[in-house]
Amino acid sequence: MAKPMFNRQTTILLVLNTCVISAFVLIHWIVLDHPDDLSTKSRNVPSETTPLSIPMETLPNALEQTLLFSSSRTRTVISSPESTVPLDTAPPRLVGIVEEEGHKRFALLEDETATSRKLVAQGDTFETWMVVSVTSDAIHLRSRSDINDGVHPSSDIELRLRPSVPPSQNFNP
C-alpha cells in the first residue's frame, strides 16, 4: 500500500490554521472596514453633482485678502452724458462678483491703490460710494455726496467685469 501524502496530524493542523487565518481576516474586515468597499468611500468623497459649499463666514475674509481676478478683470466706468457733476474721488475697482446660494450677490471692491478690499451687497457702502445694485456681471454705484445733495440718479456709474461685446452680424461658424 502507498503511504498517504499527509498524515492525520498534518491535515488537522492545516485545517486549524486555515480556520484561524479566516477568522483573523474576517475580524480585520469587520473592525478595520473593508478597503475595497466603495459605498463607504463614496460617503466621504463628494460626488461630481454635489455643489461645493463654502461657508459664508469665511468667504468675505478670503476674498478681501487675496488677489482674485486681478489680471483678467478690467474696470469699465460708464457715465451718462447728462451727468455734469465731477466725481469727488475715483470709483473703486470691481474685482469680482460672488453669488450666494440664496441668489444674493456680493461685489468684491478694491480701492484705487489696491490697499483695501471689501465684499459688499446692494445698499452697502465702500469708501464714498453706495452700491445701488449688483448684477451677474456689473454693479451700479452712486456717490454718497450725490445722495445727500439730491442729485439725479443719472450720475450713477456702472462697473463691469467684462466689456460688453455686441453680437457679430457676420459670424459664420
Angle (nearest 5°) at CA 114 between 110 and 90: 65
Structural domain boundaries of the chain?
A: 8-38, 59-160
pTM exceeding the 0.75 threshold for the entire prediction: no
CA distances from 172 to 157, 164, 167, 168 (A): 35, 20, 12, 9
Rounded distance, CA 98 to CA 88, Å? 28
- Give the DSSP letter of residue 6: S
CA distances from 106 to 14, 73, 98, 130 (A): 71, 16, 5, 13
Tell me the pLDDT of the chain (173 aa) as tens digits.
567 677 889 999 999 999 999 999 999 888 876 455 555 455 555 555 545 555 666 666 665 555 555 555 555 555 554 444 455 578 888 888 888 877 788 888 888 888 888 899 899 998 888 999 998 888 999 987 755 555 555 568 888 886 555 655 555 55
